[in-house]
Structure 1
C-alpha cells in the first residue's frame, strides 16, 4: 500500500546542486526572451509583459537562496563555493537588470527603440543560451571550452550596438524629457551585457583553477 501511494504521490526531491544552476540558467533564457519581446512592443503590451519579468527575477532570487544553502553544506572547497555562488548571483543580477530595463520603459512610456538596441537584446538572448550549455559542464569545468570567448565576442558586439543606438538617439533631436529615457534604457541594456560577460568570466576562473 505504501509503495502504491508513493508512486501515486511521489515526494518532491531537491535537484542536484549543478541541476539548480541549470534551472537558474534556463530561467535566464526565459527572461531574455521576455525582455526582447517587451522591447519590441508598444507601451500597452509592455505594461502587460513587464510583470512576467518581475516574476522571473523573484524566482531567480529564490534559486540563488537555494544554491547558497546547498553550497554551505557541500564538500567543495571554499574558493570554489565562493565562485559558484558569485556565478549564481550574477545570473540573478542579470535577470534583475532586464527587469530594471522593463521598469524604465513602462514608467517613462518610452516609444519605439532604435534598431541597434533590439539587436543588442538578441545578443543577450544568445549569451543566455550559451550560459545554459555552460551549466551542463559545471561539474567538469575543463569542458567549458569557448564559452568565455564567445560571450566576450557578444559583449564587444553589444557595446558597439549600444554606442550606435546612443549616436542615433542624439541625432534624433527632441527635448531632454524625450531623449533621457532612451539614454537610460540603452545604458541599462549595457549593464545586462556586462553582467553576462562577468558570468562567463567567473566560469572561466573555475576552469583555470581546475586546470
Structure 2
C-alpha cells in the first residue's frame, strides 16, 4: 500500500516566520524568500525534504501554500503600486503642445465658401431678372452668365486642388460631389434665364417669381450650411429648412401647372410655361441635392 503524506505540525511552525517576514508593496523579493534555498549552497537556510515514505513527504516547506500565498500577495501589491505610478505619469500636465497628424488645409473650405456665395448671387440675379423682365433683360442676363462662369471656375479650382492634394479634409469623392452639386445650381439658374429669353416670353407669370424666391432662400440656407463645414459644426436646423423649402417648391410647381392647364388656352403658351416651371423646379432640386451631399459629409465626420 502506498504511503500517504501527512503534514507535520512542525512544518506549519517552520513556515510561519517566512510569511511574517513579508514586507509591504515597496519591499523586495529577497526579504520574502529569506529562508528559501540559496544558490551558494548555504545549508543553514535549507530545510531538508522528507524522503518517500516519511511523514510529510508530500509537503516541502519551501513550497508550502502559505509561502506561495505570501509571494503572490507581494507580487500583486507591486503591480498595484506600479500601476499607480503609471497613472500619475499619464495624468501629469503635458510639457509640450499636442501635435496634429493631419495638416490644416483650409483651401477647400475657402473654395466651397466662394461656390456657395456664388449660388446666392446668381439666385438673386435671377429674381431681379424676372422682376424686371423684359426691361434690361440683356444686362441682367449677362450678369447671370458671368456668375455661371464664376461657378465653373470655382469648380475647376476645386478639382485641380483635389488632384494636387494628398491629404484632404474629408473624402475625395465627397469633395468632388459637393463641387459639382453647387455648380449644378448655377447651371440650372442660367438655363432657365436663357429659356425665358429664348422662348419669347412677353411677361413673367407670378408662380415663376414665387419659385425664384424659393431658389434664393434655398441658396441662402445652402450657404449657411457650407459655412459650418469647416469644423463640421451642427447644421441640422439649416438642413431641415432646406428640405421644407424643397417641399414648398414641389407644391408651387404642381399648383402652377394646374393653373396653367385650367386658365391658358394657347397650347404653345402651355408648353412654354410648363417647361419654364419645371426648369425652375430643377434649380430647387439642385439645392436639395447639394444639401444631401453636405448631410453625408457631416454624418461621416462628426
Q: TM-score, normalised by structure 2?
A: 0.61
Could you tell me which residue of structure 2 aligns to residue 73 of structure 1?
Answer: 164
Q: Which moved more, 1:96-105 or 1:123-132?
A: 123-132
After superposition, what is the alpha-carbon deviation per residue over 1:64-121, rounded to whole angstroms, capped at 9, x for unaligned? 01011112233127x7121122111111111110010011100112133332321221
Instruction: Give 5+ residue unaligned stretches, structure 1.
Output: 1-14
Tell me the matched-pair count: 196
Could you tell me which residue of structure 2 aligns to residue 136 of structure 1?
Answer: 227
Mapped to 2, the partners of 1:155 and 1:31 lie a distance apart of 18
Q: Which moved more, 1:98-107 or 1:65-74?
A: 65-74
Could you tell me which residue of structure 1 aligns to residue 245 of structure 2?
Answer: 154
| Aligned CA-pair RMSD | 1.7
Is the CA contact (8 Å cut-off) linking 1:64 and 1:92 kept in structure 2? yes
Mapped to 1, the partners of 2:139 and 2:227 lie a distance apart of 33
TM-superposed CA distance for 1:192, in Å, is 0.4
Structure-to-structure mapping, 1:1-211, within 5 angstroms: 16-74=107-165, 75-76=167-168, 80-211=171-302
TM-superposed CA distance for 1:159, in Å, is 0.7
Helix, strand or coil: the match of 1:138? coil
Q: Which moved more, 1:112-121 or 1:179-188?
A: 112-121
Could you tell me which residue of structure 1 aligns to residue 95 of structure 2?
Answer: none
Mapped to 1, the partners of 2:250 and 2:138 lie a distance apart of 27
Mapped to 2, the partners of 1:108 and 1:47 lie a distance apart of 14
Is the CA contact (8 Å cut-off) linking 1:115 and 1:165 kept in structure 2? no
After superposition, what is the alpha-carbon deviation per residue over 1:11-39, rounded to whole angstroms, capped at 9, x for unaligned? xxxx8221111111111111000111112
Is the CA contact (8 Å cut-off) linking 2:133 and 2:204 kept in structure 1? no
Q: TM-score, normalised by structure 1?
A: 0.86
Is the CA contact (8 Å cut-off) linking 2:225 and 2:239 kept in structure 1? no
Question: Rg bigger for which structure?
Answer: 2
TM-superposed CA distance for 1:146, in Å, is 2.0
Mapped to 2, the partners of 1:40 and 1:163 lie a distance apart of 22
After superposition, what is the alpha-carbon deviation per residue over 1:177-199, rounded to whole angstroms, capped at 9, x for unaligned? 22211111100001001100000
Q: Which has the higher contact order (CA 8 A, sep 6+)?
A: 1
Helix, strand or coil: the match of 1:166? helix
